């Protein structure tokens, strides 16, 4: 069993003599990336951009390169419930980057 699999199934072997079960495995997640992905979907529809996977991913990449990543550890399935006030405030910043990115994809589509 790989470390990743062990982590996914909830058990991580820490050493030869110490087997520790983790009941709720933590995930490392970039909150900015999660928010950007959601916002890009929304803005592609709002701005009438092409919704193919290429345009979607290009817009995500453009927006994310303009933003600071924000990593948190979170329990599986609880990605958005643990957002702090700071992260919510940063959404304006995210919106600007997402709008810019989607407009750029509309102007220069790579599909």
List residues binding Zn ion (CB under 5 A).
50, 52, 55, 111
Strand 71-75 vs strand 26-30: parallel, antiparallel, or unpaired? antiparallel
> Which pair of structure tokens corresponds to residue 61?
């990449």
Of 27 and 50, which has the nearer Cβ to Zn ion? 50
Q: How far, in Å, CA of 69 to CA of 35, rounded?
A: 11
Of 10 and 109, which has the nearer Cβ to Zn ion? 109
Of 1 and 52, which has the nearer Cβ to Zn ion? 52
Instruction: Tell me the helix, strand and coil percentages in the chain, rounded to 5.
Output: 50, 15, 30
> Which pair of structure tokens corresponds to residue 102?
């989607």
Of 27 and 106, which has the nearer Cβ to Zn ion? 106
Q: Collect all residues with Cβ–Cβ distance below 8 Å to 43 and sequence separation of at least 6.
A: 49, 59, 98, 99, 102
Q: How far, in Å, CA of 58 to CA of 44, rounded?
A: 12
User: Please, what is the minimum distance in Å from the beta carbon of residue 25 to Zn ion?
Assistant: 36
User: Please, what is the minimum distance in Å from the beta carbon of residue 32 to Zn ion?
Assistant: 23
User: Please, what is the minimum distance in Å from the beta carbon of residue 37 to Zn ion?
Assistant: 16
User: Please, what is the minimum distance in Å from the beta carbon of residue 105 to Zn ion?
Assistant: 8
């Amino acid at each position: 069993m790989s470390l990743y699999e062990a982590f996914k199934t909830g058990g991580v072997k820490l050493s030869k003599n110490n087997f520790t079960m983790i009941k709720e495995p933590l995930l490392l997640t970039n909150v900015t990336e999660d928010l950007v992905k959601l916002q890009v979907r929304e803005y592609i529809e709002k701005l009438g951009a092409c919704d193919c996977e290429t345009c979607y991913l290009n817009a995500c990449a453009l927006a994310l390169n303009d933003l600071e990543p924000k990593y948190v550890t979170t329990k599986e399935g609880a990605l958005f419930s643990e957002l702090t006030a700071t992260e919510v405030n940063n959404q304006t910043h995210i919106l600007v980057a997402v709008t810019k990115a989607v407009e750029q994809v509309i102007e220069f589509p790579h599909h």
